[in-house]
Structure 1
């Protein structure tokens, strides 16, 4: 992910928080999630939240 330098200075822990998510979100997973939105018409926010829950990143 791209992080604005000003934002990163303010919250330096962002890379540590995003790293586990980035490792699981490979091209195959991204394509599957994008298909749910683009092909199936699902809400992008809900698709993302469902995946984050499924992977144990949020409750």
Structure 2
């Protein structure tokens, strides 16, 4: 599984057969960030942070 904040990284991982998890980093590019604010595809998991992702993976 690849956990990433970039939709393009997750698309590449999926193309290789990996599971995917999107966690946004809303201020990675500063206050004017316009990309990677939300999941752009139906990733296997979408979570606000790593704690939430870990809870979903245990579920």
Q: Please say whether Structure 1 and Structure 2 have the same fold, judged by a TM-score greater than 0.5.
A: no
For normalisation by structure 1, the TM-score amounts to 0.29
Larger radius of gyration: 1
For normalisation by structure 2, the TM-score amounts to 0.29
Higher helix share: 1
